[in-house]
Structure 1
């Protein structure tokens, strides 16, 4: 129980550092959350593959959404910003810990992904100054549908990459 609470707190601290700080020294706080997770809550071997896999999938998904102009950042790079990649790594730390309860049944992960994903993009977008060129409501609806499929997939990755 304490491990899951600590995992949730570390995730939230890292999430805030990323969306408020952007690509600044605030990212050190997010990196610290990852290191603490790997050092005290989990292990490098058990979580490293999952974190890398989730970062690759998340970077691909969000970079495609960026390319399609679903959301727009201040920089003009082809990939998503580093702070958003770190958010994907932070999310990976929750899949076997504080959000493990949401893995099964699959529809629970799907429902949580739809609601939680859209709310996270909404809040993160507001705090980080991300623009939604197609409008907030249509964008969040698309993100909700996308995350309804993506979150169960991430949980499946967590199970398949388990030690």
Structure 2
């Protein structure tokens, strides 16, 4: 499979899984995000040359995302629709969004590798927009405030380069894209 085809598949899977998780939560089907993530991540890993490194990246991103979102929910920055766990613990459908994002870092977002300032800017804009979009689609109890959006921008401005660095570090031996 050529690199462009792989990137297109990665973007399509990312978007499909994102919408499944967010719209599933918004429609009361909070299980849809985690369920949709199973085939998406299975296909992602099947197409990866460094499955072990990629699996470690996914696990690290899931853990970091869980801690990030739990902290921000506890601080009142946003209020996702809960499932399984009491507030402020990040719900499984949101943890899946972090796994989903991590699955793009070595494929469709590989252009961020080694460009940590660009990754920070990308995260500072894209992260809050994703939360705002999810809120507009009904996956949260309220839209983030202006202060909340600023805090998300700062948080994602830190998290994105960290995740890009982890993707580089855990992908030792990757032949490139």
Same fold by TM-score, threshold 0.5 exceeded? Answer: yes
Could you say what secondary structure the match of 2:103 adopts?
A: helix
Pick one of 100, 103, 110 that aligns with 2:113. 103
**Partner in structure 1 of residue 101 of structure 2:** 91
1:28–1:42 CA distance, 2 compared to 1 (3 A):
farther
- Distance of aligned partners of 1:39 and 1:122 in 2 relative to their CA distance in 1, 3 Å threshold: same
| In 2: Cα distance, 1:41 partner to 1:161 partner | 13
- TM-score, normalising length: structure 1: 0.90
Matches within 5 A, 1:128-147: 128-132=138-142, 135-147=144-156
C-alpha RMSD of the superposition = 1.8
Q: In 2, distance between residues paired with 1:65 and 1:12?
A: 24
Q: Once the 2 structures are TM-superposed, how far is the Cα of residue 109 of structure 1 from its aligned partner?
A: 0.4
Distance 1:162-1:117 versus aligned 2 partners, 3 A rule? same
Structure 1 unmatched runs, 5+: none
Q: Which has more helix, going by share of residues?
A: 1
TM-score, normalised with respect to structure 2: 0.83
Within 5 A, what are the aligned runs for 1:35-114?
A: 35-42=42-49, 44-75=51-82, 76-114=86-124
Moved over 4 A (4+): none
Total equivalences in the alignment: 162
